[in-house]
Amino acid sequence: MLKANISVLVSGSGTNLQALIDAQSSGVLKSGEIRLVISSAEDAGALQRAKDNGIARAVVPAKQTTREEFEAGISALLERHGTELIVLAGFMYILSADFVKARPGRIINVHPSLIPAFCGKGFYGLRVHEAALEYGVKVTGATVHYVNEIPDGGEIILQKAVRVKQNDTPETLKKRVSEEAEHKLLPLAAELVSRDIVRRRSSK
């Protein structure tokens, strides 16, 4: 059966992209295939990971462009590569309502907290963990969800809790949430959604 065609959107080091690539090799991700990596930054470490694994890659710079140009650049690449599922893996930009509404159920995102805590506009990367520590929560985690027009507001697919330790810094917490939760959940969710896309395609 033809696998779901996946594009991964990234902005940074790409450890979540790596988890997806590893899941493809191990067979955890078997209903979808990563065919393209699009980075919003030229110097994103994720690009090297794509290169090392023979995956097509492209840069659509987010800086010094309008949002319309940025999204038009991404859309053109997605169309050209026949993308069926878009995985946001450390992608640091909020996609417009028009972009998202045109692709219902076809965009998923990994967020480093237990939504609805510490999410939405302004909560990304290390800031999420800083906010969790400031608040004093004893449990945090990660969430994979569908993307809709509300930032971090789409239907939840999977969540996993991670304990906060007494001496945690934002950096140690980020590392543990990534390793114990994000890197496990994102491949599982990508498989679930890919399987669904393939099933729907073959029942048409």
Please pick, from the candidates 5, 6, 9, 14, the single residue that binds ligand GAR as defined by CB under 6 A: 14
Q: Which residue is nearest to ligand GAR (CB)?
A: 90
Q: Is 187 in the site for ligand GAR (CB under 6 A)?
A: no
Instruction: Give the residue among 3, 64, 75 at the shortest CA–CA distance from 38.
Output: 75
Collapsing DSSP to helix, strand or coil, 142 comes out as: strand
Please pick, from the candidates 16, 31, 39, 194, the single residue that binds ligand GAR as defined by CB under 6 A: 16
Amino acid making up residue 111? H
Q: Is 125 in the site for ligand GAR (CB under 6 A)?
A: yes
Q: How far is the CB of 151 from ligand GAR (least distance, A)?
A: 8
Nearer CB in complex with ligand GAR: 140/178 = 178
Instruction: Give the residue among 13, 20, 11, 18 at the shortest CA–CA distance from 60.
Output: 11
Q: Is 81 a catalytic residue?
A: no
Quote the DSSP letter at residue 141.
E
Instruction: Give the residue among 197, 42, 83 at the shortest CA–CA distance from 74.
Output: 83
Rounded Cα distance between 148 and 151, Å, is 7
Q: How far is the CB of 170 from ligand GAR (least distance, A)?
A: 11
Please pick, from the candidates 90, 141, 154, 187, the single residue that binds ligand GAR as defined by CB under 6 A: 90
Rounded Cα distance between 92 and 133, Å, is 21
Q: What is the torsion angle, in degrees rounded to the nearest 10, for the CA atoms of residue 6, residue 148, residue 97 and residue 39?
A: -30
| Interacting residues with ligand GAR between 52 and 81 (CB under 6 A) | none
Instruction: Give the residue among 30, 72, 34, 73 at the shortest CA–CA distance from 56.
Output: 34
Please pick, from the candidates 4, 23, 86, 89, the single residue that binds ligand GAR as defined by CB under 6 A: 89
Rounded Cα distance between 143 and 113, Å, is 6
Please pick, from the candidates 49, 111, 145, 176, the single residue that binds ligand GAR as defined by CB under 6 A: 111
Q: Is 153 in the site for ligand GAR (CB under 6 A)?
A: no
**Binding-residue total with ligand GAR (CB under 6 A):** 17
Chain residues that interact with ligand GAR, rule: CB under 6 A: 10, 12-16, 46, 89-90, 110-112, 124-125, 128, 178, 182
